[in-house]
């Protein structure tokens, strides 16, 4: 198996990045919506945001940037030939949204947290710089609110697109019985 993509196969690096980032994004979404529902007591939520949500989100940003570069530096196996023009449009549109969200979710979260004056740290407490100056409470924090709203609405879109993306992959595998999902999994996991 090759590290790089070929005309007919995803390479090991593309597959590893897909599933690594995929798992982290799903965890972030589940955790984020639990925050919104106020499932955890206040201090527990603050610790989870600081020690888990932010470091994992920053990791997604780093890996997402590498993944984008890798995407453009490589050929890409074509979409299955049994797809209609509108299925192509939906697949390409949803992939573009997923790539955009990989970068926009962490960046909006980081800008909002900086604007609020909160610390942004990576694992091990490694401090990261604020992306914007802290806004005083008296100003009504317009920039912070704008980026919090963006964090929220991009997450709503991401949740919907992710569900459609996963359902589409399962439809290709179980309904249309083509190799779309098998090609994204380690070779030999499922017959092609
Ligand atoms: C893959 C990246 C990320 C995903 C999918 C994600 C997702 C979410 C979701 C679904 C919510 C709940 C809805 C909302 O209040 O907006 C949320 C809340 C939040 N996120 Fe993120 N996020 C990511 C990265 C980040 C990063 C990198 C930061 C900061 C550096 C951050 C900071 C926050 C904060 C402060 C909240 C509000 C928590 C609270 O209500 O106490 N997020 N996130
Ligand atoms: C149950 C979870 C998931 C399944 C079953 C799944 C399955 C797949 C499959 C089969 C492909 C290949 C499609 C093709 O050949 O055109 C793919 C591509 C892709 N997936 Fe997922 N995926 C999942 C989760 C995610 C998540 C959470 C993200 C969020 C970042 C994501 C982002 C992408 C992107 C951006 C592509 C396009 C790759 C490219 O064209 O460069 N996937 N996925």
Nearest CA to ligand 1 atom 21: 109
> pLDDT band at residue 191, thresholds of 50, 70 and 90?
confident
Residue 55's contacts (CB-CB under 8 Å, 6 or more residues apart) are: 121, 122, 123
Q: Are 99 and 78 in contact (CB under 8 A)?
A: no
Dihedrals φ, ψ of 56, to 5°? Answer: -65, -40
Nearest CA to ligand 2 atom 27: 22
165 Cβ closer than 6 Å to some ligand 2 atom: yes
DSSP 141: -
Q: Are 173 and 191 in contact (CB under 8 A)?
A: no
C-alpha closest to that of 28 among 126, 116, 105, 98: 105
pLDDT per residue as tens digits for the range 80-135: 888 899 999 999 999 999 999 999 999 999 999 999 999 999 998 899 999 999 99
In testing the pocket of ligand 1, which one of 24, 33, 35 has its CB within 8 Å of the most ligand atoms? 35
152 Cβ closer than 6 Å to some ligand 1 atom: yes
Q: For residue 58, count other CB atoms closer than 10 A to its CB.
A: 19
C-alpha closest to that of 184 among 164, 174, 171, 169: 169
What percentage of the chain carries pLDDT values higher than 90?
92
Quickly count helices (H) and strands (E) in the chain: 6, 2
pLDDT per residue as tens digits for the range 25-54: 999 999 999 999 999 999 999 999 999 999
């Amino acid at each position: 198996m090759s590290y790089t993509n070929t005309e007919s196969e995803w390479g090991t690096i593309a597959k590893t990045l897909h599933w690594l980032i995929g798992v982290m994004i799903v965890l972030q979404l589940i955790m984020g919506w639990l925050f919104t529902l106020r499932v955890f007591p206040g201090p527990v939520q603050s610790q989870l945001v600081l020690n888990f949500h932010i470091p994992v989100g920053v990791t997604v940003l780093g890996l997402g940037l590498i993944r984008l570069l890798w995407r453009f530096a490589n050929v890409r196996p074509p979409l299955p030939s049994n797809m209609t023009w509108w299925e192509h449009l939906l697949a390409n549109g949803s992939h573009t949204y997923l790539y955009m969200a990989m970068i926009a979710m962490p960046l909006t979260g980081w800008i909002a947290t900086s604007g609020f004056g909160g610390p942004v740290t990576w694992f091990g407490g490694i401090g990261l710089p604020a992306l914007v100056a802290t806004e005083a409470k008296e100003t009504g924090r317009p920039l912070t609110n704008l980026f919090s709203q963006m964090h929220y609405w991009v997450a709503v879109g991401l949740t919907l697109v992710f569900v459609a993306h996963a359902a589409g992959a399962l439809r290709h595998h179980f309904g249309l019985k083509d190799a779309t999902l098998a090609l994204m999994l380690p070779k030999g996991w499922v017959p092609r």
